Amino acid sequence: MADRLTSVNPATGKVLAEYEIYDEKKVSDAVKQAQKAFELWKQLTLKQRGAVMKKIAAQLRKDKEGLAKLATAEMGKPIAQSLAEVEKCAATFEFYAKNGEAFLKNEIVKTDAKKSYVSFQPLGVVLAIMPWNFPYWQVFRAMAPAIMAGNVMLLKHASNISGCALAIEKVIKKAGAPKGLFQTLLLPSSNVEAIIENPAIAAITFTGSTVAGSKVAQTAAKHIKKQVLELGGSDPYIILKDADMKLAVKTCVDGRLVNSGQSCVAAKRFIVEKSVLKEFTEQFVALMQEAKHGDPMDMDNKIGPMARHDLRDQLHEQVQKSIALGAKLLCGGYIPQHEGAYYPPTVLTNVKKGMPAYDEELFGPVAAIITAKDEADAIRLANDSIYGLGAGIFSKNRTKAEKIAATQLQAGNCFVNAFVHSDARLPFGGTKQSGYGRELSIFGIREFVNIKTVFIN
């Protein structure tokens, strides 16, 4: 029905629930409540805000099991990963509760004034537009720094996980947070532009596809509103000839299969020096095939279904097009003949420019192996992408690998001998068409503040 949002279990194809779309009055009331909440919230001290943050973290842990089961039911994430996701959200709230005061402390600057300093003041109501792949983490990692800084938040979550969106709001309320600090808006994507244009919205944080992010940015720019965009990625992992092969293979498989391969910052393109191509490929394929997949409620399964059947079908089409253009299928690459939006771990080799597996983001458990002539060619291939979110490099020569990661790879997050992941202590974000702005760390909390110069004579 056009007036409802539907949640479907991707493991079974069965409808879980239907939710009424908010009408104009309900949205208007939520915006007004957010404005009222901001006027009160911004007046609290950072210590007082931190106390609320700690209560939210505690409530997340209290409700962890139920929240995890809901995420797994709505988008198919393996239950062990759902549990870990909720814990990560709680830890991030505690991180900002502990460090918020230091991050936002006035910075004294010596000038010819009697006193001058930089102050950090909240902007107001932040609109978060979030995807389905990490139903809680995407929201809480944006919310934690934003509300610690004194802002309030409205959430427009992905339409297929409305249960998770409402559960987040419930957690915030149960923790005793001020009314209106965080509210969920159940809306289809077609209603997003009107919300961005609302004069009460001060800033926007968006995580999702590059295409959708571009549309959000255009609307926000038209109204001169700050945005942070975390968009698509096709992360390259370079395997040099001197890599610890056992470590590289295991890390690359883990990095490719996290969240059933549905992560912007997952390992996607594996660029291997020619001299070790055979060794890497054989071990990589073997480990990919060993990965347990099936019922996402089973703690032992590493891979569940993809979040929706249409996404699974789109991924399969990218695989088939790549094969038709000359890629070689080493394992997987078929649609299972049973219920659920499942897709097996899949490996393509002989991947070259012009193929979807080279040029596009593969959002699922599909790995593209690309051959590099040497180290310089590997770096060139890694950077030959419209994306720049994450990148990895494997070598026993850490000094060399560090230099490549720090100065030569075009990405916002470059890891050596490890797979790329987010950490509250480090800034997270991309470059090129992977977006701009940063989440997490001190940089994340300073995205949605007025960096104000105060000059006193």
Give the Cα separation of 416 and 393 in Å (integer). Answer: 5
- 89, 164, 252, 264: which one is catalytic? 264
Task: For residue 166, list its beta bridge partners.
Answer: none
Q: Which residues 6+ apart lie within 8 Å of 62 measured at CB?
A: none
Give the Cα separation of 445 and 103 in Å (integer). Answer: 7
- 74, 230, 361, 447: which one is catalytic? 230
Residue with tokens 């992941």: 421
* Catalytic residue list contains 39: no
Tokens representing 171 are 């957690």
Intra-chain end-to-end CA distance of the chain, in Å: 64
Provide the 10 A C-beta neighbour count for residue 7: 21
Q: Which residues 6+ apart lie within 8 Å of 37 measured at CB?
A: 152, 178, 179, 180, 181
Contacts of 39-42 with CB under 8 Å at 24 or more apart are: 40/178, 41/147, 41/150, 41/151, 41/152, 41/178, 41/181, 42/121, 42/122, 42/150, 42/151
Give the Cα separation of 82 and 76 in Å (integer). Answer: 9
Give the Cα separation of 301 and 385 in Å (integer). Answer: 32
* Catalytic residue list contains 230: yes
Q: Which residues 6+ apart lie within 8 Å of 377 measured at CB?
A: none
**Total residues found in the chain within this entry:** 457
Which residues form the catalytic set? 230, 264
